[in-house]
Amino acid sequence: MSITTVSPPRRTEEPATPAARRPGALRRKITDNLTAYGFLCAALVVFALFSWYPIVRGVLLSFQQVNFVSSALFGIAWRNTLLFTGLALIVGFAVPFAVALVLNELRHLKGYFRVVVYLPVMLPPVVVAILWKWFYDPGPGLFNSILRTVGLPPLSWLNSADTSMLSLVLVATWASMGSATLIYLAALQTIPGELYEAAELDGANLWQRLRHVTIPQTRFVLLIMMLLQIVATMQVFTEPYVMTGGGPEDSTVTVLLLLYRYAFTYNDFGTASAMSLLLFIALGAFSALYLRLTRTKG
């Protein structure tokens, strides 16, 4: 007769209830939130000290009793700034779009030429200004050396009121065209090829395809880039400050350069703040009007 022993059933551990897990999970959640809010508060403090406080302080200073409108340089600075912006639109807006059209048609070495076009953007603006100042040097400068080589008379690039502003526009265009070119190139590559094929079947030439296909398909990008360029060129400072100092004969004094003089040369921070607020209002009003006029209906 055999005796069969029956083993007792094994105890299975019951999973922890939500009530048991709640204290630990709640502590972790509180710790994570405190850490996140700690980093957020640090960023807010930095922005408040180095961004928001100077803005508020500048607005308060701008309401001091100042009279810079009667200054002769005030009108000259605005005229020069508008001239720079106009020349930049003629040269700096068309050139990147033309370069993007050429790059879009390349079949080989696309990556190489994109790097070459974008390379100036990677250089610090002051370095670009110093480099081009040597290019424009009336003696051993690169450009005048080339002119002498081909038998042409040298030019007073930065030393003449007739050519100084255009010389600065060329520098600014070369330094910033890389970003605009890549944006235009990306917009061009989104155009369906069927549109060009249909235009060719209809007998459209190169100019007609550009006018009726390329420009309408990239209209939104062109309008936004024009607005950004106008706002940026109205704030030109580095090129006239480093290359000409506002000369010759105040032909390259811009609004920001005059603002800098009032603040850090004449120690008149009230006038400088008032000029900066006036420029901010002018650019804000222009941007709002521009967006309203160019807004697509429908």
pLDDT in tens, 233-259: 999 999 999 999 998 889 999 999 999
Per domain, the residue ranges of the chain are 74-260
Cα–Cα distance for residue pair 97/181, rounded to 1 Å: 6
Q: Is the dihedral of CA 95, 99, 100, 105 positive or negative?
A: positive
Looking at residue 1, the DSSP 8-state letter turns out to be: -
pLDDT in tens, 83-116: 999 999 888 888 999 999 988 888 788 788 888 8
pLDDT of 18: 52
Cα–Cα distance for residue pair 175/163, rounded to 1 Å: 19
pLDDT of 260: 93
Cα–Cα distance for residue pair 264/276, rounded to 1 Å: 14
Q: Cα 284 from chain centroid?
A: 16
User: Which residue stretches of the chain have pLDDT < 50?
Assistant: 1-3, 19-20, 297-298
pLDDT of 298: 39
Helix axes 164-188, 110-118, angle to 10 degrees: 140
CA separation, residue 259 to residues 29, 210, 237, 246, 275 (Å): 50, 42, 10, 12, 6
Look at the domain 74-260 and name its fold.
Answer: MetI-like fold (1.10.3720)
